[in-house]
Structure 1
């Protein structure tokens, strides 16, 4: 007889294990979706009041979709290895009214707007390969605008979360929630009908409780004709050992976030340093190759003529991308341009909007800034990989390391490492590989997962 999920399963069970329950007939998609919707009801606006979910799918819509997928399963029609499972997505992915949730990018100005169609990634194979979108996540950013996709997965609102990355937007929240996450290289996944801030830096990604989960979702996100794709998907890269893996570790003293972004005392810095170095030692002892320290261009060097290059590009691209979305992809909207979003001068927090609206940077300077970022980041990364004959570079996620990934367009992942002694907050490391090497990242992530202890239940939910 089908059953609801236990609280422990809601908080810890990976998607692939839930799929095994479905295959065995122990439960159904209707029961699984009901269980996660109930958890949202308990702790999103009530209970712990996490407020991770901006919009929840209407129960009748979500359960009708789940029932349809159960019926398909009964007739041996499976859309893929994620068939019948729920997912939450960041509220920048356009969702048609049929799904029962608006698309606002966290802005009151877009309440009531109606996308003409789902984002391409949501459309693919009819609303993902058999997934049920049960919630749209918030965008407030204490460490990344995909924060609430990670919080939702960690809190048991769904086993899988979809976000986007511009510069740490996905890997930083994954790091904080002790999750595994992977952002696809820029351009390897469709961004059509996704509200973005920059075409140069913006890319989709996923978070999950295990590397296998992340691999399965990333398979859906990657363009079907993306290079280096295995016919068996990214799951073909899953391993449980370090044999043949060669990585470089950075010097943690050079790769730390500034105090303006992240308060860190000497005790935590020492804990991170020793834990990071211990990880390198364990990898060597497990048969992997570690080169340390790796010399890389620092994020502070990503400049054009002594001016930070990333803001030059973003100010120019944000207005173009948002205006295109508002004008081309919506059936109905109160606003049709970035200019119409601007509030009176006395309203705070509009720097991004105003800077983009008032931007008069010549196009040739924007192009030179974009080229400078690619040149500095890609050249530095490629040189380090080639000189040391390594496959990837590893750094603390609590660092500006993600700026190198954004500037180069390379894929980046995050994996859990430990918890801060003083308050139990999780921290992890980021792994950077070169173009079209998502499979390499999955291989290294899975070796990491096999060597280190399983992630713990989130502190808020411990009894």
Structure 2
């Protein structure tokens, strides 16, 4: 097997479209499509054998997956966070559970959160608090244990994500790819499938920003990624494919610098 920048030569890659490149489902934006088409062409030029692939789904799979993922992720986040905080021997902040974390962030130490006192900073803090409160009322938890709602949602996510393995076998491909900003990445996550996202370009300068969305998406010159997914325990080959693809793009991520406010001005050495 070839490695390095030639790792994609002769590798069968499944190209996903349909539900995963659909502006009416999930958060996919049509502005990503030209970048995806260019990424597919880059894979071809890098020597990959491209196969049109389809992940087997049910008619209402998206609604099922969206709901199940929300239950599983919010419940696991709350339960595991509470377990972690309870195990700490010394807690200077006196935060011992998720309720305490919400109080710390939103009430007792709100000035430490949100980054600044501007309207944007307050909006950011509001979204952070809202996200925590959503997870506070995790539907898949009773007491300190997982309940049947969680177990049912977990079975649903695993059933839906099994379509990834089915597609890999049916099309005899080593990996599946789709834009990162689709439900494909979430589907891989709930099924514990390894995934690697690599920059594939930037949206056009005339891309229209959506109002009332946090974090903002899309926006002019927003970065977009290509997501590689494969079977369990396939991280090694996925990293090889991602490395080869990144080199084939000419390191596209270096062609545009982030806006100045996003560049850290304080380094670890400045506060140690």
TM-score interval for Structure 1 and Structure 2 normalised by the shorter chain: 0.5 to 0.7
Residues 168 and 175 in structure 2, CA contact (< 8 A), matched pair in contact too: yes
Is the counterpart of residue 420 in structure 1 residue 180 in structure 2?
Answer: no
Shift of 1:303: 6.3
1:394 correspondence with 2:168: no
1:176-195 equivalences under 5 Å are none
Using the size of structure 2 for normalisation, the TM-score is: 0.66
Match of 1:338?
98
Q: 1:432 aligns with which of 200, 204, 229?
A: 229
Alpha-carbon separation, structure 2, partners of 1:299 and 1:450: 38
Cα distance between partner residues in 1 of 2:47 and 2:196: 22
5+ long unaligned stretches in structure 1 = 1-235
| 8 Å CA contact retained: 1:302, 1:373 | no
Specify the alignment match of 2:86 in structure 1: 327
In the aligned structure 1, how far is the partner of 2:39 from the partner of 2:141?
A: 45
Distance 1:302 1:429, change over 3 A: same
Aligned mates of 1:321, 1:450 — CA distance in 2: 38
> What is the aligned partner in structure 2 of residue 255 from structure 1?
21
Residue among 290, 303, 315 paired with 2:50? 290
RMSD: 3.6
Secondary structure of the residue aligned to 1:416 is: strand
Q: Distance in 2 between matches of 1:316 and 1:272?
A: 32
Find 1:351's aligned residue among 108, 113, 133: 133
What is the SS of the residue equivalent to 1:308? helix
In structure 2, distance between residues paired with 1:297 and 1:260: 15
Structure 1 counterpart of 2:73:
314
Give the superposition deviation at 1:307: 8.0
Counterpart in the other structure of 2:246: 449
The structure richer in helix per residue is: 2
Q: Report whether the alignment pairs 1:246 with 2:43.
A: no
Deviations 1:246-298 (A, max 9, x none): 11111166435769857x4xxxx2x5333323332343344321112433538
For the structure 1 residues 448 and 308, does the alpha-carbon distance in structure 2 shift closer, same or farther, using more than 3 Å as the test?
A: same
Change (3 A) 1:365 1:356: closer
Distance in 1 of aligned mates of 2:69 and 2:16: 23
The alpha carbon displacement at 1:417 in A equals: 1.3
Task: Pick one of 255, 259, 268 that aligns with 1:460.
Answer: 259
1:11-26 correspondence runs (5 A) = none
The alignment's TM-score, normalised by the length of structure 1, stands at 0.41
**Distance in 2, Cα, partners of 1:427 & 1:324:** 35
CA deviation map 1:302-338 (0-9, x unaligned): 666x981122223433332122111112423412222
Structure 2 spans left out of the alignment, 5+ residues: 108-125, 206-219, 261-272
Distance of 2:74 and 2:33 partners within structure 1: 36
How far, CA to CA, are the matches of 1:242 and 1:360 in structure 2?
A: 47
Which structure carries more relative contact order (alpha carbon 8 Å, separation 6+)? 2
Offset of residue 356 of structure 1: 2.9
CA contact (8 A) 2:42 2:245 kept: no
The alpha-carbon deviation at position 459 of structure 1 amounts to 4.6
CA distance in 1, matches of 2:228, 2:60: 19
Q: How much does 1:451 deviate?
A: 1.6
Displacement after TM superposition at 1:300 (Å): 6.6
